[in-house]
Amino acid sequence: MGVGVLLRNCYAKPLKVFPNARIQPGWVVDPGALRCQSPPPMEFELTEEQQMVRKMARDFAEREVAPKARELDEEGRWPEELVEGMAELGLMGVAVPDEHGGAGMDNVSYALAIEEISRACASTGVIMSVNNSLVCDPLLKFASDEQKKEWLEPLAQGQKLGCFGLTEPSSGSDASNMQTVAVRDGDDWVIDGSKNWITNGPHADMILVFCNTNRDLGSRGTTAFIVPKGTEGFNPQPRDHKLGIHAAHSCTMFFENCRVPDRLRVGDEGMGFKVAMSTLDGGRIGIAAQALGIARAAFEKAVAYSQERKAFGEPLSKKQAIQFKIADMAMELDAARVLIMRAAWLKDQATKDKSVRHTQESAMAKLFASEMATRVTHQSLQIFGGYGYSKEYDMERHYRDARITEIYEGTSEIMRIVIAANALKG
Ligand code: CAA
């Protein structure tokens, strides 16, 4: 406590840091300190509960997930037993209050858990992240009491699995330009169109799908619906084949004359785009934490290898060229962690105070962490040399898995647009 790090209005003036201050992995930045004119000292300590969640996720990841990760990747096998294991530990609804079936922890704990699971297996990490961030979180914020009882509770308990349908074949980044329509017909809505790259899609019990319900209104003509698996006219397609995260199955979903009752509409008519965007503000923290976990796995293996492998009569770690890589990677990992913890902490404040926004902080965390993961897995593979390129080691998997974090839940380019838009607002 009392770490002695003080930031004064850090966007405008240089940092003032006491000489004995060292930022350690796991410390939490108090974002209040980044915003106030006369900020309080930052606290980096995790609470006992947050440390407990991190330990529990790390133990599970090391014991159950890591030993299977290579096989899951090679065979593209859906990790059914790991999803069940995560459900038993409360990891499928970490930040959902216990009265709605969740673990009742905070978003800092959630980010720590995603990092630990993704360090072992990025596929398992994103399966967990989609259910938590993209399905449970919007249902918690926007669903009716009846919908919470019927859907949020079993989803947060991991008895059911969810997926999120925003992206379409011809609109990924330009999300409001969706072509899937829902037309009112009495007490029902009839959905027609398609969604693609839907992570968890082939195994999900429901989709939270975003449809155009009024073409004249642009993004204000978007509405969200729950469509249960098995609904007539709702047809998930076979899984996609991708560069990485092989065990996290995704697919295209077709909707043909798919009829859902109005009671499955989530939020008001026309409010769907805001539901999607505010959901992604949270989802991006999860993907940033996934990227951090992947990068940490690669980094830790590269550091260990550099101490074992000898070249020119000494371990690689004695070479300054390797030390410089290690220094840059250690710094980037810490910087990503600080951004992620700040965004997660802010999301926790937003649950108590609706005026708190974290759009920009989440975008910064996702942008930095995902590009960092690309750089760190690249350099870690370089330290491994030819062995890094070999399927006999995990490094090539980390390298492939990192790449998607720059694409899904908002590309790096979209993150820059979001950050610039907020920065230009002042
Ligand atoms: N929270 C709440 N409301 C928001 C918001 C936010 N973060 N961002 C925008 N809005 C609101 C705006 O206030 C505006 O509302 P009004 O009409 O009332 O003024 C409305 O939404 C439209 O905003 P914009 O004009 O900014 O919208 P835009 O069409 O220009 O798009 C965008 C903005 C940032 C580019 C957005 O389209 C975007 O984020 N695109 C990326 C989509 C994305 O991330 N897709 C990921 C798919 S999910 C996935 O990948 C899952 C997986 O596989 C794991």
- What are the pLDDT digits (tens) for 145-154? 999 999 999 9
> Quick one: which atom of ligand 1 is closest to the CA of 273?
21
Going from N- to C-terminal start, the domains of the chain cover 4-36, 48-161, 164-272, 281-425
What is the average pLDDT across 114-141? 98
CA distance 65 to 75: 15
Residue 30 pLDDT greater than 90, yes or no: no
Superfamily designation of domain 281-425: Butyryl-CoA Dehydrogenase, subunit A, domain 3 (1.20.140.10)
Using pLDDT thresholds of 50, 70 and 90, give the confidence band for residue 408: very high
| Mean pLDDT value across the chain | 92
Q: Judge if the beta carbon of residue 130 lies within 6 A of ligand 1.
A: yes
Residue 9 pLDDT greater than 60, yes or no: no
Q: How far is CA 419 from CA 159, 192, 230, 364, 368, in A?
A: 37, 34, 40, 7, 12
Using pLDDT thresholds of 50, 70 and 90, give the confidence band for residue 42: low
Using the mean position of ligand 1's atoms as its centre, give its distance from the Cα of residue 153 in Å. Answer: 27
Ligand 1 pocket: which of 277, 405, 408, 419 to mutate (most atoms <8 Å of CB)?
A: 277
Q: Judge if the beta carbon of residue 166 lies within 6 A of ligand 1.
A: yes
> Quick one: which atom of ligand 1 is closest to the CA of 278?
1
Q: Residue 399's Cα: distance from chain center in Å?
A: 18
For ligand 1, atom 28: residue with the closest CA: 176
**Fold of the 48-161 domain:** Butyryl-Coa Dehydrogenase, subunit A; domain 1 (1.10.540)
Q: Judge if the beta carbon of residue 418 lies within 6 A of ligand 1.
A: yes
Using pLDDT thresholds of 50, 70 and 90, give the confidence band for residue 19: very low
Which alpha helices (DSSP H) does 186-319 contain, by range?
272-308
- Structure tokens given for 94: 């970490």
Q: Which residues form the catalytic set? A: 409
Determine phi and psi for 275, rounding to 5 degrees. Answer: -60, -45
Using pLDDT thresholds of 50, 70 and 90, give the confidence band for residue 2: very low
Ligand 1 pocket: which of 219, 285, 413 to mutate (most atoms <8 Å of CB)?
A: 219
Determine phi and psi for 344, rounding to 5 degrees. Answer: -65, -40
Give the global pTM.
Answer: 0.91
> Quick one: which atom of ligand 1 is closest to the CA of 198?
53
Residue 231 pLDDT greater than 70, yes or no: yes
CA distance 414 to 161: 28
- Structure tokens given for 259: 């009829």
Per CATH, the number for 164-272 is 2.40.110.10
User: What is the percentage of the chain residues whose pLDDT exceeds 70?
Assistant: 90
